Amino acid sequence: MRAYFYDNKDYDPREPHEQVPLTPVTPEELRNLGVLYWHLDGDDNLAQLDKIAKDRKYKNRDELTCSKEGLGDLYEKKLKIFFEEHLHEDEEIRYIIDGSGYFDVRDLLDRWIRIAVTKGDLIVLPAGIYHRFTLDTNDYLKVIRLFKEEPKWTPINRPADDNKYRLAYLQSLRDSGLYK
């Protein structure tokens, strides 16, 4: 995983969008936003994933191949939906089996942080955080999605500032002393 501030230039979102000079974002800064990260590798990566899933009380999972072949005629439409700024009312947890892509999350100053993920990365976005996703120029990502309950993926597009999960997320940041 590599995280940095997004340059906000209006061109292909699948490009890296690195600011010049590059401004990296540390795993600690991401944790302060509620974003968790692990890199699972080796022969026991699925056992590691199972342990994390059990510890975080994830009961269900599915697998998705996000590519032109995997999504077929829905490819362009799905990528556009994934890249719309939104939040979810539950955590979004993704384990990258193969390929690469970008998760963008908003920081406390409403700036975009780009998180580049590749094979072996496991990322958890908290409920209520504004975010979006896109593939990179490789146009391929295979992912395991984990869920606490029945699998669902319901985006709530911004603005959703009065959503109770958004409000709870902001309150958790206030409680940590990071947000006023």
Binding residues for Ni(2+): 86, 88, 92, 131
Q: Cβ(37)–Cβ(128) under 8 Å?
A: no
User: Which of 42, 155, 53 lies closest to 95 in space, CA to CA?
Assistant: 53
Question: What is the Cα–Cα distance from 162 to 178, expressed in whole angstroms?
Answer: 20
Element (H, E) at 169: helix 164-175
Read off the tokens for 35.
Answer: 């974003």
Detail the residues annotated as belonging to a binding site.
86, 88, 92, 131
Classify strands 36-39 and 156-157 as parallel, antiparallel or unpaired.
unpaired
With tokens 């996703």, the residue in question is 133
Q: Which residues are annotated as a binding site for Fe(2+)?
A: 86, 88, 92, 131
- Between CA 1 and CA 4 the distance in angstroms is 10
